[in-house]
Structure 1
Amino acid sequence: MFGWATDVGVDLGTATVLVYVKGKGVVLCEPSVVAMHRDTRQVLAIGEEARRMLGRTPGNIVAIRPLREGVIADYDVTEAMLKAFLRRVSGPRLLARPRMVICIPANVTTVEKRAVMEAAIEAGARTVTMVEEPLAAALGAGLDITQPAGHMVIDIGGGTTDVAVLSLGGVVLSESIRIGGDKFDEAIVRYMKMKYNLLIGERTAEEVKITVGSAGCDSRNESIEVRGRDLMSGLPKTVTITSAEVREAVSELVTSLCDTIKAVLEATPPELSADIQERGIVMTGGGAMLHGLDQVIAQETGVPAYLADDPVSCVARGTGRVLEEFEVEDNHLVVLRKLM
């Protein structure tokens, strides 16, 4: 336990939930997975324990991800998951209901914002302030976005990618697309079906992406044995897949991602474009760690691109900077406006 948390920052991600406690840093990083009884909907496991059950549960138990493409897909399960994580960092009873800064994707709807806020309140938060993920990612990456200078941040999460240009403590323009690490995994699953008639699970696809995955034609040329079920015979089967095949599997998604980045750059005011050209594009989020993706973006846009330090925890650390350095108001406004 970490004592009674009075201020917490939450990166409520499609694939992973990270919790930052004021004065302590990131104290929790768990998969956004919940295992529950199919009929009674009783929660049986949450986080890493539930993730190990994905694809391996008996008929009466189901392991689900309550968030899809950056937004809440199952409100009750999301609330239960948040409550469990808050208890882990605050103690068995939420005697002191914490103030919470929670991140949301750029350009989400009012309904989606309200669902996040209500889930956080029901989970035990006293007050909730929502901050757009690109802002938090920029802060977590150590950027000084309070000055009149342009910065571009690309936050590639499990369900969404946020592309934003920031200046003077706010978002100048942004775009959010439903492409992330999960889409890369799904593309690998489809590729294995089409080419090898092999059915594999999400966890296997993720392992392939991490171990031999590549976004561009670079020097990575590795291979891995993949086990699954043959769709023709129904029997177990093993095939070998290479980095080049993974590049082929995810190529359409990488192209769509680059097109979105170029569209944002084309709409950026010229003075800010010059700043971005000088400073480069900062990439955060777990999906940004796909091997060679930074090189592909740099080649396609003509702007240098680089990974932030510890890209997975950037958004959570950004909420921490809000908690540590600025007073969090009891409203939904972007608190970074106070920097002015």
Structure 2
Amino acid sequence: MFSATAIGIDLGTANILVYTKEKGIIINEPSVVAVDAKTRTVLAIGTEAKAMLGKAPDSILVIRPLRDGVIADFDVTRSLLKLIMERAAKELGSAFRKPSVMVCTPSGATAVERREIHDAVKYGGAKTVHLIEETVAAAIGAGLPISEPVASVIVDIGGGTTEVGIISFGGVVSSNTVKVAGDRMDEAIIHFVRKQYNVLIGDRTAENIKKEIGYAPVPHEAEHMEIRGRDIMTGLPKTINLSSLEVQEALKESLYAILECIRATLENCPAELSGDMVDQGLVISGGGALLKGMQEWLSKEISVPIHIAPQPLESVAIGTGLSLTMIKQLEKMSR
């Protein structure tokens, strides 16, 4: 049995979450690091570093060390994890000794990428490190009966990747990953505003637009939002009025890429499990699950019930933490 020193980490492209069974989510910070451009010394992490995005002088580099669900900058990720583990130690106080850590990896991660994740967490101060596929962690966190002989279908739309998995008897029957998720949607909004209005906006503004007036392809009454950016022609600040219908159009390509990934996974599902899907439907988690109209649109496109995970943003982190008590069971099933 694991003690309070067992923690689960969701090493996400957009956010890093740390979960303990006793206290739940103890850390939820953006996966952003600010470093000194010359010495590479870490100056800030998380929310503090994210506030510097697009605003820092040349002497400070603001880095997102995780891209498309895997480590893009190993040294910075290692430093980030070390500081995250130190914060977890402060949160847990005397209950925190060298912890056993369960960390999620994207289904499509290579052996080298998995080793990098393992080594980065070990460097952070973990006693033992276990890896779990993101789809399995998300399914556990969403409360799906993964060990039963029924199809548990999970669609995790994160920051860098969308992971789709069909799980039965604790193992992944069919899975697919596509590098289209929240970040790609933000990029699509930036590109649209630049092309349509000749205005340059940053990642944070694009993310706010997506959250406030972003819609999946469903009919809705138009909403508007005033945004500020830099006019490409004059170089001066400019305010424009953006409609939710325009944002909806900008997001279509990304959303249909996610839909194709879901369809490809379902097509590879054994016939016996396909019958379960008609009754059980599928569960969506991750930040993308919160996009307005997402549930309604997917239900219409796939013709099965669509459910949103109870805590979509925290499903993977909760799943990694809970899976620590299921290690032997999961290992047995994955053989």
TM-score past 0.5 threshold: yes
Q: CA deviation at 1:267?
A: 1.3
- In the alignment, structure 1 residue 336 sits paired with structure 2 residue 325: no
- Mapped partners of 1:166, 1:15: distance in 2: 25
Helix, strand or coil for the counterpart of 1:311? coil
What is the letter of the counterpart of residue 27 of structure 1? I
8 A contact 2:139–2:154 mirrored in 1: yes
- Report the equivalent of 1:113: 114
> How far is the alpha carbon of 1:256 from its aligned partner?
1.0
Match of 2:40?
Answer: 41
Q: Deviations over 1:62-97 (max 9, x none)?
A: 111000000000001101111111111113999832
Preserved CA contact (<8 Å) 2:218 2:296? no
Match for residue 90 of structure 1?
Answer: 89
Q: Give, in whole Å, the separation in 2 of the partners of 1:142 and 1:240.
A: 41
- Judged with a 3 Å threshold, the aligned counterparts in structure 2 of structure 1 residues 276 and 207 are, in CA distance, closer, same or farther, namely same
Shift in Å, 1:296: 1.7
Whether 1:236 aligns to 2:230 is no
Q: For residues 100-127 of structure 1, give each alpha carbon's deviation from its aligned partner in whole angstroms, at most 9, with x where no partner exists.
A: 0000111211111011011111111111
Counterpart code for 2:321? G
How far, CA to CA, are the matches of 1:313 and 1:336 in structure 2?
A: 21
CA distance in 2 between partners of 1:72 and 1:169 (Å): 27
Rounded to whole Å, the distance in 1 between the matches of 2:55 and 2:323 is 40
Which amino acid in the other structure matches residue 44 of structure 1?
Answer: L
Matched, 1:30 2:29: yes
- Unmatched runs of 5 consecutive residues or more in structure 1: 330-334
Map Cα deviations across residues 110-166 of structure 1 (whole Å, 9 max, x no partner): 111011011111111111110001111111111111111111100010000001111
1:194-246 C-alpha deviation (Å, 9 max, x unpaired): 10000000000000000010011232521100100000111100111111111
Q: 1:10 matched to which residue of 2?
A: 9
Q: Is the 8 A contact 1:148 1:167 kept in 2?
A: yes
Per the alignment, residue 217 of structure 2 pairs with: 216
Partner secondary structure for residue 262 of structure 2: helix
Identical residues among aligned pairs (%)? 46
Give the paired residue count: 330
Q: For residues 26 and 121 of structure 2, what CA distance do their matches in structure 1 show?
A: 18
CA contact (8 A) 1:213 1:291 kept: yes
Q: Which amino acid aligns with 2:66?
A: L
Say which is worse superposed, 107-116 or 296-305, in terms of deviation.
Answer: 296-305
SS at match of 1:216: coil
| Inter-partner Cα distance in structure 2 for 1:250 and 1:194 | 14
Q: CA shift at 1:98, angstroms?
A: 1.0
Q: In terms of mean alpha carbon deviation, does 294-303 or 45-54 score higher? A: 294-303
Q: C-alpha displacement at 1:321, in angstroms?
A: 1.3
Partner amino acid, structure 2, of 1:336: L
Query: Matched residue of 1:139: which SS?
Result: helix
**Are 1:20 and 1:316, in contact at CA under 8 Å, matched by a contact in 2?**
yes
Residue of structure 2 in register with 1:295 after alignment: 296
In structure 2, what is the Cα distance between the partners aligned to 1:27 and 1:139?
Answer: 19
- Other-structure match for 1:332: none
Distance 1:21 1:86 in 2: 12
Q: 2 CA distance for matches of 1:288 and 1:109?
A: 26
- Summarize the Cα distance change of 1:77–1:5 in structure 2 as closer, same or farther, 3 Å threshold: farther
Q: Matches of 2:29 and 2:146 in 1, distance apart?
A: 29
1:291 CA drift (Å): 1.0
Using the alignment, how far apart are the partners of 1:250 and 1:238 within structure 2?
Answer: 21
* Whole-Å separation in 2 of the counterparts to 1:295 and 1:110: 37
Aligned AA for 1:65? Answer: R
Give the counterpart letter for 1:191 in structure 2: F
Asked whether the equivalents of residues 20 and 28 of structure 1 are also in contact (C-alpha less than 8 Å), the reply is: yes
Query: For 1:64 and 1:338, how far apart are their aligned partners in 2?
Result: 39
Report the 3-state secondary structure (helix = DSSP H, G, I; strand = E; otherwise coil) of the residue aligned with 2:135. helix
Q: What is aligned with 2:139?
A: 138
Q: CA RMSD in A?
A: 1.8
Q: Give the secondary structure class of the aligned counterpart of 2:53.
A: coil
Task: Indicate how the Cα distance of structure 1 residues 228 and 19 shifts in structure 2: closer, same or farther if over 3 A, else same.
Answer: same
Distance in structure 1 (CA, Å) of the matches to 2:87 and 2:248:
39
User: In structure 2, how many angstroms separate the alpha carbons of the residues matched to 1:101 and 1:217?
Assistant: 38
Q: CA deviation at 1:169?
A: 0.7
**Aligned 8 A contact 1:151 1:272 in 2:** no
Say which SS state the counterpart of residue 10 (structure 2) adopts: strand
Indicate the residue corresponding to 2:204 in structure 1. 203
Amino acid at match of 1:91: K
CA distance in structure 2 between the aligned counterparts of 1:251 and 1:220, rounded to whole angstroms: 17
- Please give the alpha-carbon distance, in whole angstroms, between the structure 2 residues aligned to 1:322 and 1:172: 19
The ranges of structure 1 where at least 4 consecutive aligned residues each deviate by more than 6 angstroms after the TM superposition are: 92-95
Comparing 293-302 with 34-43, greater Cα deviation is found at 293-302
SS for the counterpart of 1:185 is: helix
Structure 2, gaps ≥5 residues long: none
